[in-house]
């Protein structure tokens, strides 16, 4: 099947490369010349395990190409729209400018019977509006909504072997044809009996934001428990283990710390709440404002803990910040709690030296005022406090005895609750986690 993918950022690049790996002929289109050049030469513009291998294999097989020319989509039967839907500046709602531009850009090149498939995360109601636009323009094309659930860091695996597929399709014969084309695209996953939910546009759009709202709520729930544990002298990690054994609750996404960030969860819960308000159902998502508020205050609580641990003054103290990416195995610093903590400490006059295995270039572009060290040991040398904010495996594996000799003061603040408190204390460190004694 010939497929086009409009927008080759995190989602689109992985989707295009994975579809080629699954045997389809794929062209990826993006307006960003540098991105297209990088992708076409087999180099991934983002840190994503396995992506470069797929880009090279796709180029070698001749099944994967990239272009900045919208006309390159001609001849494709299925067109995936994977452009960004960021938060509107100064507002909570999603900015649909790029989605609208992508569809307008497709219109001159569509043939009757083509399928336009939305992959971006959008406010409910967008798909119906876009189908109306395709009809009004006389394109003869059908729209489907096929939300994406990939996690950064596992994006290739999640795309090739998704844990479920959701198709939002129009009613009647058009919907059946859309489903048949999507089944062909996803023949590999369908052949492995991947759960498939075929539904209407609104449900498909809502599934995506509901999933992210649930995940965000789970994290803020455990962070609220961490606040109580801190006040009462409990241990949130043991609490999470204990409640997580209940299969109805489950242990995953119950890791307390400085909270969630990234290009999805924060903006998606805000856009969902904004859309619910437009629909006159603001009260139904009012809890998401609390989820957001809990999440954002965790960052300041971490900063306060650093200040307090340093005796109330961080000015000119050397603080080693371990981690900048919003999570390990990623170079993404969009709404990163780790980078935010580093910036806040720097704003208080601390001499921040931040390190990260992948996210220094992206952080440097946004916050050149921070100090950076590519080598973890250089970051630690002479530090008055060590602050772990992204739980990369190399930071979890640090030997408290060995690194104890490098720092000025053996003070470690664990913003992800991943270090072995007993081992660090035994090596003479003052250890403080978030919601654990």
Ligand X SMILES: O=c1ccn([C@@H]2O[C@H](COP(=O)(O)OP(=O)(O)O[C@H]3O[C@H](CO)[C@@H](O)[C@H](O)[C@H]3O)[C@@H](O)[C@H]2O)c(=O)[nH]1
Question: In the complex with ligand X, which residue's Cβ is closer, 138 or 250?
Answer: 250
Nearer to ligand NAD, 11 or 305 (CB): 11
Q: Which residues pair with 4 in a beta bridge?
A: 27, 79
Asked whether 326 and 338 are in contact (CB, 8 A), the reply is yes
Q: Which stretch binds ligand X (CB under 6 A): 131-139, 144-152, 299-307, 353-361?
A: 144-152
CB of 259 to ligand X, least distance (A): 5
User: Is 219 an interacting residue with respect to ligand X (CB under 6 A)?
Assistant: yes
8 catalytic residue (yes or no): no
- Which residue among 215, 239, 360, 398 contacts ligand X (CB under 6 A)? 215
* Shortest distance (Å) from residue 327 CB to ligand X: 4
Place of tokens 């983002």: 46
Helical pair 286-309 and 201-232, crossing angle rounded to 10 deg: 40
Hey, is 263 helix, strand or coil?
coil
3-state secondary structure of 254: coil
Q: How far apart are CA 386 and CA 381, in angstroms?
A: 10
Least Å from the CB of residue 347 to ligand X? 21
Q: Which of 2, 56, 133, 151 binds ligand X (CB under 6 A)?
A: 151
What track of x and - describes contact with ligand NAD for positions 112 through 151 (by CB under 6 A)? Answer: --------xx--------------------------x-x-
The residue range among 3-11, 168-176, 191-199, 385-393 that interacts with ligand NAD, by the rule CB under 6 A, is 3-11
Location of structure tokens 């546009």: 201
Task: Give the contacts of 262 (CB within 8 A, at least 6 positions apart).
Answer: 152, 326, 327, 330, 332, 334, 335, 336
Considering only residues 392 to 411 of the shown chain, the ones binding ligand X according to CB under 6 A are none
CA–CA gap between residue 62 and residue 77 (Å, rounded) = 18
Stretch that binds ligand X, among 109-117, 163-171, 247-255, 359-367 (CB under 6 A): 247-255
Sign (positive or negative) of CA dihedral 148, 149, 152, 156: negative
The one catalytic residue among 264, 276, 307, 333 = 264
CA distance 3 to 236: 47
Min dist CB 243 to ligand NAD, Å, is: 28
Indicate left, alpha or beta for 327 from its phi (over 0: left) and psi (-120 to 50: alpha). beta
* Angle in degrees, CA 29, 30, 33, rounded to 5: 120
From the list ligand NAD, ligand X, none, partner contacted by residue 146 (C-beta under 5 to 8 A by kind): none
CA 82 – CA 28 distance, rounded (Å): 10
Q: Least distance (Å) from ligand NAD to the CB of residue 82?
A: 5
Residue with tokens 């780790």: 338
Pick from ligand X, ligand NAD, none: which does 378 bind, CB < 5 to 8 A by kind?
Answer: none
Q: Which stretch binds ligand X (CB under 6 A): 164-172, 180-188, 248-256, 360-368?
A: 248-256
Q: Which is nearer to ligand NAD, 19 or 303 (CB)?
A: 19
**Which among 381, 383, 397 has a CA at the least distance from the CA of 430?**
383
Q: Which string of x and - marks every residue 68-107 that binds ligand NAD (by CB under 6 A)?
A: --------------xxxx------------x--xx--x--
Alpha helices in 186-260 (DSSP H): 187-191, 201-232, 236-244
326 near ligand NAD (CB under 6 A)? no
**Which active-site residues does the annotation give?**
264
- Applying CB under 6 A, the residues found at the interface with ligand NAD are 6-12, 29-32, 35, 82-85, 98, 101-102, 105, 120-121, 148, 150, 152, 263-264
């Amino acid at each position: 099947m010939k497929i086009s993918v409009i927008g080759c950022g995190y989602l689109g690049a992985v989707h295009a490369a994975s579809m080629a790996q699954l045997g389809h002929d794929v062209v990826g289109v993006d307006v960003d010349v540098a991105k297209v050049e990088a992708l076409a030469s087999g180099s991934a513009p983002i840190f994503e395990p396995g992506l470069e291998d797929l880009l090279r294999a796709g180029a070698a097989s001749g099944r994967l190409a990239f272009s900045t020319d919208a006309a390159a989509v001609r001849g494709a039967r299925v067109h995936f729209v994977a452009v960004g839907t960021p938060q509107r500046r100064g507002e909570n709602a999603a900015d649909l400018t790029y989605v609208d531009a992508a569809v307008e850009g497709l219109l001159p090149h569509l043939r009757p019977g083509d399928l336009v498939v939305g992959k971006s995360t959008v406010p409910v109601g967008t798909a119906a509006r876009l189908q109306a636009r395709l009809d009004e323009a006389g394109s003869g094309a059908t729209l489907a909504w096929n939300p994406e659930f990939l996690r950064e860091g596992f994006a290739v695996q999640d795309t090739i072997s998704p844990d479920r597929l959701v198709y939002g399709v129009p009613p009647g014969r058009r919907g059946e044809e859309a489903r048949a084309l999507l089944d062909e695209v996803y023949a590999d996953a369908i052949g492995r009996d991947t759960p498939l939910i075929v539904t209407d546009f609104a449900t498909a759009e809502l599934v995506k934001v509901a999933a992210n709202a649930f995940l965000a709520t789970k994290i803020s729930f455990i962070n609220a428990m961490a606040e109580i544990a801190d006040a009462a002298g409990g241990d949130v990690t043991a609490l999470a283990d204990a409640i997580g054994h209940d299969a109805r609750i489950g242990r995953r996404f119950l890791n307390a710390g400085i909270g969630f960030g990234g290009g999805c969860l924060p903006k998606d819960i805000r856009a969902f709440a904004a859309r619910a308000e437009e629909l006159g159902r603001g009260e139904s998502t009012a809890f998401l404002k609390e989820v957001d508020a809990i999440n954002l205050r965790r960052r300041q609580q971490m900063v306060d803990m650093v200040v307090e641990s340093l005796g109330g003054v961080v000015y000119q103290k050397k603080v080693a910040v371990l981690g900048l990416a919003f999570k390990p195995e990623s170079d993404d610093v969009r709404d990163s709690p780790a980078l935010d903590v580093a910036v806040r400490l720097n704003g208080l006059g601390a001499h921040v030296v931040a390190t990260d295995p992948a996210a220094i270039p992206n952080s440097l572009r946004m916050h050149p005022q921070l100090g950076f060290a590519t080598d973890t040991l250089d970051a630690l040398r002479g530090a008055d406090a060590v602050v772990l904010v992204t739980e990369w495996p190399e930071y979890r594996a640090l030997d408290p005895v060995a690194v104890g000799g490098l720092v000025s003061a053996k003070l470690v603040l664990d913003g992800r609750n991943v270090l072995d408190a007993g081992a660090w204390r035994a090596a003479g460190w003052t250890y403080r986690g978030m919601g654990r004694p």
